[in-house]
């Protein structure tokens, strides 16, 4: 199955948690302490205090990673290869604004994307010639990655129900020169009813409370957070996942992912789907040789999940990677 060939370590084991971490919502931190391994707590908590470096993927439909790396380094950028994601780089020297001013960026030869965000499409493992659905696609980071992995062959349906985000998706698809994508502006909950068992693979990178993106020095990244937000996201996620399972062909693969830590939005949703479709889906193991990963939780706040959710993966934050959750389901 899936194989990646390198790893990123856990955040550095720092003796003390930085004081500014306490600016994050108190209840969020209390919940997070029950999720993060205690021996890793200080180092992981401190990742919320510093912005992560710019990372990007090469658009392999337009450019060669080797040629592009040489070109950008000739322009005084210093790049570090991401060995587990071919064609991905960390910008170690140079600023995002400077990168955006290059012809390489303006021609759509690269796509700026966080490292953790690159994992779901790799786990999905789309193949040339297949019919793929990206159910909540805007602004297009994973849609474009799927198209690159498919080498432009096959059909991708990229959907979003937010009009402003939809046009950002459209612009990114056009800039990247991708021609095998059908764009739809619809509620994702409708696909299961209107297109039952129609897709070989489906990616549901679900809307979520986005806890993995909290930054202490950007209050706008977390000021909205409260338990009610988690519950609101749960309702949306259940509707979307029910639709996705219904739209998936028998034998097909569905990847569910979020950029949040909340078990209610992660293992809880996958366990709910497993029970909602008895004998219809199975949770597959994911092999990612990353040292900053952990297995899914099997219980939370007195609620036990289906034991199979232990096969899901939690990506723990590091100075280079944000927190993420990924599950791979197969329809029987």
* CATH (domain of 86): 3.30.70.1170
Whether residue 11 has pLDDT greater than 50:
no
12 falls within a domain: no
pLDDT tens digits for range 193-220: 999 999 999 999 999 999 999 999 999 9
* Domain match, 96 and 190 both: no
Question: Three-state SS for 46?
Answer: helix
* Domain match, 29 and 58 both: no
pLDDT tens digits for range 314-329: 999 999 999 999 999 9
30 falls within a domain: yes
pLDDT tens digits for range 80-102: 999 899 999 999 999 999 999 99
C-alpha distances (whole Å) from 242 to each of 138, 193, 196 are 20, 10, 11
Angle at 181 between CA 124 and CA 133, to 5 degrees: 35
pTM of the predicted structure, to 2 decimals:
0.94
Among candidate residues 113, 146, 165, the one where a domain is terminated: 113
* Domain match, 121 and 224 both: yes
CB atoms < 10 A from the CB of 233, how many?
21
* Domain match, 78 and 175 both: no
Q: Identify the band that residue 3 occupies on the pLDDT scale cut at 50, 70 and 90.
A: very low
Active site residue 85: no
Whether residue 170 has pLDDT greater than 60:
yes
* Domain match, 287 and 154 both: yes
Whether residue 165 has pLDDT greater than 50:
yes
Of all helices (H) and strands (E), which one includes residue 55? strand 55-58
- For the chain, report the end-to-end CA distance as a whole number of angstroms: 17
pLDDT tens digits for range 215-250: 999 999 999 999 999 999 999 999 999 999 999 999
How many domains does the chain fold into? 2
Structural domain of residue 208, as residue ranges? 19-50+115-331
Strand partners, 215: 218
Determine contact, residues 110/104, Cβ cutoff 8 Å: yes
The active-site residue out of 36, 173, 241, 259 is: 259
Whether residue 26 has pLDDT greater than 50:
yes
Q: What is the pLDDT of residue 322?
A: 97
């Amino acid at each position: 199955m899936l194989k990646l060939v390198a790893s990123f370590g856990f955040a550095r084991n720092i003796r003390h948690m930085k004081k500014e971490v306490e600016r994050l919502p108190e209840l969020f931190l209390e919940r997070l302490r029950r999720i993060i391994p205690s021996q890793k707590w200080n180092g992981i908590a401190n990742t919320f205090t510093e912005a992560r470096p710019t990372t990007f993927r090469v658009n392999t439909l337009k450019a060669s990673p080797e040629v592009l790396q040489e070109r950008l380094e000739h322009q005084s950028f210093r790049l570090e290869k991401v060995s587990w994601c071919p064609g991905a780089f960390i910008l170690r020297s140079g600023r995002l604004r400077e990168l955006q001013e290059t012809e390489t960026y303006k021609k759509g030869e690269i796509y700026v994307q966080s490292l953790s965000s690159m994992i779901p499409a790799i786990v999905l493992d789309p193949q040339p010639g297949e019919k793929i659905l990206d159910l909540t696609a805007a602004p297009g980071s994973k849609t474009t990655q799927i198209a690159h992995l498919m080498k432009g062959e096959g059909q991708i349906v990229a959907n979003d129900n937010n009009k402003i985000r939809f046009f950002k998706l459209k612009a990114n698809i056009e800039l990247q020169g991708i021609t095998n994508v059908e764009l739809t502006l619809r509620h994702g909950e409708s696909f299961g009813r209107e297109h039952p068992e129609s897709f070989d693979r489906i990616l549901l990178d679900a809307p979520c409370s986005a806890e993995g993106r909290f930054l202490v020095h950007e209050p706008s990244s977390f000021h909205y957070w409260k338990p009610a937000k988690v519950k609101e996201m749960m309702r949306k996620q259940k509707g979307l996942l029910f639709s996705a399972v219904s739209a998936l062909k028998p034998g097909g693969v569905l990847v569910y992912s979020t950029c949040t830590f909340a078990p209610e939005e992660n293992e809880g949703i996958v366990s709910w789907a497993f029970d909602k479709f008895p004998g219809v889906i199975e949770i597959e193991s994911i092999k990612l040789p990353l040292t900053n990963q952990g297995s899914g939780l099997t219980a939370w706040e007195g609620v036990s999940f289906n034991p199979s959710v232990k096969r899901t993966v939690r990506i723990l934050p590091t100075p280079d990677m944000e927190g993420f959750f990924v599950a791979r389901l197969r329809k029987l």
